[in-house]
Amino acid sequence: DIQMTQSPPSLSASLGDKVTITCQASQNINKYIAWYQQKPGKAPRLLIRYTSTLESGTPSRFSGSGSGRDYSFSISNVESEDIASYYCLQYVNLYTFGAGTKLELK
């Protein structure tokens, strides 16, 4: 099974900041990583697939990059509506989520 190590577990940011979350896979996942946003009581929302492809409706302040085992997800100019938890998901071999990152306002 592929494990996804996501960090940090939590982030504190001010409005307008840039934040970055990382996920490291236990093996090469060939860019088959997606990033999700989840707000309390809601289903996850797909933001980015295949490392860096933004889903329709995802604001351009969200971005993703990486290759091999190491991937990152960034939000530039954090807005209040971005306060949520974020998860990475590998889908090269079955499906494994990272542990999540909770983004809070400083």
Partner 1 sequence: QVKLQQSGAELVKPGASVKLSCKTSGYTFSTSYMSWFKQIPGQSIEWIGMIYAGDGGTGYNQKFKGKATLTVDTSSSTAYMDLSSLTTEDSAVYFCARHPFAYWGQGTLVTVSS
Which residues of this protein are in contact with partner 1, per CB under 8 A?
A: 34, 42-46, 49, 55, 87, 89, 91, 94-100
Dihedral (CA of 51, 21, 87, 1) sign: positive
Q: How far is the CB of 23 from partner 1 (least distance, A)?
A: 12
In whole angstroms, what separates CA 85 from the centre of its chain? 9
Q: How many helices (H) and strands (E) does the chain have?
A: 0, 11
Q: Which is nearer to partner 1, 16 or 41 (CB)?
A: 41
Q: Which is nearer to partner 1, 55 or 79 (CB)?
A: 55
Is the preceding omega at residue 59 within 30 degrees of 0, hence cis?
Answer: no
Q: Which is nearer to partner 1, 73 or 87 (CB)?
A: 87
Residue 28's H or E segment, with its range, is none
Q: How far is the CB of 15 from partner 1 (least distance, A)?
A: 25
Q: How far is the CB of 77 from partner 1 (least distance, A)?
A: 25
